Amino acid sequence: MKLALYQGPAIDGDIEAGFIRIERQLSAAALAGARMAVFPEVFLPGYNRPDLHHSLAQPLGGEWTRRLSALAKQTGCGITIGWAEADGGKVYNAATCFDETGAQIAHYRKIQLYGPREQESFEFGDSYTVFDLWGRKAALLICYDVEFPQHCIALAKQGVSLILVPTANPRGFEYVSEALIPARAAEMRLTIAYANFCGSEGDITFGGHSVIVGPDAKPLASAGVGETLLVTDLSALDRIDGTILSQQQADYRRVGKTDDT
């Protein structure tokens, strides 16, 4: 099965331009044979638009998610995308996954909000989301979440082998794509798809370097700093030599008092 990952500039609050771009990229991904495309964090209405997070946030089942569902069905390519979710007077940094029929198959709220900027806009999520994708047990994390090994360990313990990660990683933090994502993937024998922005939005310049990494810590596909649509065939994972993969889950030995992770 082919997985796509879209790296592009932020829409900076222009919702209609954002949906035009989503349709274009989903159509391109479908033409390349992909059945799912991962987009960046808070793609709607824009990551670095805190002035819009509360005023434009939509509920789950609202206009944005209805349109996303329709586009997935229309193009024949599923979508995983970050957006600002309104619920009960609160706003969450959320990600939702629709399959190629337009059915919602996963919804998640970011657990690890990064610093005052995010914490002023959003409430903390408090639970994982695990779902089936093409016979693989999958999960969603958002940006900073995946940098914590504890979350990847907890998901691996639930049998997850694929994590889709919308992100908004700034320039200067390329070590996340180059070191932390491969490490998280290798430690728990995961495949991680990490979809970042490129270009600038307000006072943030994004770092690009989106990547899809397999459980052997090697990239299946990677981007530079410009707009890119990555497409990779996950069947390549079946050809990885299992004898070289990490045995940490089986071999870990607790010392003293520790938590469950």
pLDDT tens digits for range 20-42: 999 999 999 999 999 999 999 99
Map tokens 């994590």 to a residue.
Answer: 163
Please state, as a whole number, how many other Cβ atoms lie within 10 Å of the Cβ of residue 55.
Answer: 12
Number of domains making up the chain: 1
169: exposed, middle or buried (C-beta count within 10 Å: 0-12, 13-18, 19+)? buried
Which residues lie across from 5 on neighbouring strands?
A: 38, 230
Q: Is 260 inside a domain boundary?
A: no
Element at 116 (helix H, strand E): helix 115-121
- Inside any domain, residue 105: yes
**Predicted local distance difference test score (pLDDT) of residue 53:** 98
- What integer is the mean pLDDT of 48-61? 98
Output Rg (C-alpha) for the chain, integer angstroms.
Answer: 17
Domain assignment of residue 16, yes or no: yes
- 114-148 per-position pLDDT tens digit: 999 999 999 999 999 999 999 999 999 999 999 99
258, pLDDT greater than 70: no
257 domain residue, yes or no: no
Residue 58: band (very low, low, confident or very high) from pLDDT cuts 50, 70, 90: very high
Record the pTM: 0.95
Helices 63-75, 15-31: crossing angle, 10 deg rounding: 20
CATH code at position 157: 3.60.110.10
| Domain span holding position 25 | 2-251
**Mean pLDDT on 236-240:** 85
Active site residues: 41, 110, 143
Q: Is residue 56 part of a domain?
A: yes
The CA distances from residue 59 to 50, 83, 109, 130, 197, in Å, are 17, 10, 13, 21, 24
Beta bridge partners of 200: 205
The answer to whether residue 223 is domain-embedded is yes
As given in the structure block, the two tokens for residue 94 are 């959320």
- Under the banding of pLDDT at 50, 70 and 90, the label for residue 256 is confident
The answer to the question of residue 256 being in a domain is: no
Q: How confident is the model at residue 178 (pLDDT cuts 50, 70, 90)?
A: very high
Does the pLDDT value for residue 241 go beyond 90? Answer: no
